Structure 1
């Protein structure tokens, strides 16, 4: 007897493809798709730090003005270091800004999970300290510094 006939006789019979096989394939496929979607959605919701505007068309009409204002602020050369003190108050250290500048600000939660806090600052030398504390967590701090007709803005994250 030829070797190929002998090999064919000794092979185990092939099992038929059944509905159980198809169900296992479908469950595995959709399980992977759902797991990837859940992972991507959770990463996106935890890392989104952008700002959503109510009307993007209206915002686009102001874009060139915003660029001009940003250029004027950059030319002032002012800098700010913003951090949270141990008691939860926000401290702003200005560099290059004139003395007796007025500093105001706002603390907002990046995902909108907590209400915004308006901040007022009192000068303590080159450092300005907020009059109220901000709850623990990650916050975006927007400050505005005014000195006469000059205005400068900055935004930084504190944790």
Structure 2
């Protein structure tokens, strides 16, 4: 005869919080934290090129002068388009407050790569049509500053060119 085996039934684990649950929760939590940190670090490195001013104290001493210059330039009412022409070169069209082209000006372009991966470019732009100035600018994304000297006045503008 076969002896009867007595086994006690296992208690049901349904609805119990186990070590497996806490492991899943901890891995998910730290996975999200690490993913967000990596994403934020990537955005920080790819969008900010670094130094804004060499010495903030010295810059603060010139702040009011810079504001006065900006007010004088704004009062001129000049406008510029910053773009690439069909040949890939940089082109700007300058107009005065009445919308007339600003001809016979001396125009310089200062271009910096946003992340500093390419060396800065300093170009004297050449006038093609009246009020339209162009020059060779390497391919890529650039932050450009344009300095215009015309009619005995100076005027600046800046922007991004892709």
Using the size of structure 2 for normalisation, the TM-score is 0.78
Match of 2:122, SS state, is: strand
In structure 2, do the counterparts of structure 1 residues 91 and 50 end up closer, same or farther at CA, with 3 Å as the change threshold?
farther
Q: Check if 1:33 corresponds to 2:37.
A: no
Question: Which residue does the alignment assign to 2:154?
Answer: 151
Aligned residue pairs total: 148
2-side partners of 1:86 and 1:51: how far apart?
A: 33
Question: Which residue does the alignment assign to 2:65?
Answer: 65
Match of 2:29, SS state, is: helix
Deviation, structure 1 residue 44 = 3.1
Question: Which residue does the alignment assign to 1:12?
Answer: 12
Structure 2, unmatched stretches of 5+, are 1-10
In structure 2, do the counterparts of structure 1 residues 12 and 23 end up closer, same or farther at CA, with 3 Å as the change threshold?
closer
Deviation, structure 1 residue 28 = 2.0
Question: Which residue does the alignment assign to 2:3?
Answer: none
Residues 48-59 of structure 1 correspond to what in structure 2 (within 5 A)?
A: 48=48, 52-59=52-59
Deviation, structure 1 residue 87 = 2.4
Question: Which residue does the alignment assign to 1:139?
Answer: 142
Match of 1:157, SS state, is: strand
1-side partners of 2:61 and 2:159: how far apart?
A: 25
2-side partners of 1:34 and 1:53: how far apart?
A: 32
Residues 109-129 of structure 1: CA deviation (Å, up to 9, x unaligned): 111111111111111222011
Deviation, structure 1 residue 25 = 3.0
In structure 2, do the counterparts of structure 1 residues 141 and 16 end up closer, same or farther at CA, with 3 Å as the change threshold?
closer
Task: Tell me if the contact between 2:114 and 2:142 (Cα under 8 Å) persists in the aligned partners.
Answer: yes
Question: Which residue does the alignment assign to 1:109?
Answer: 113
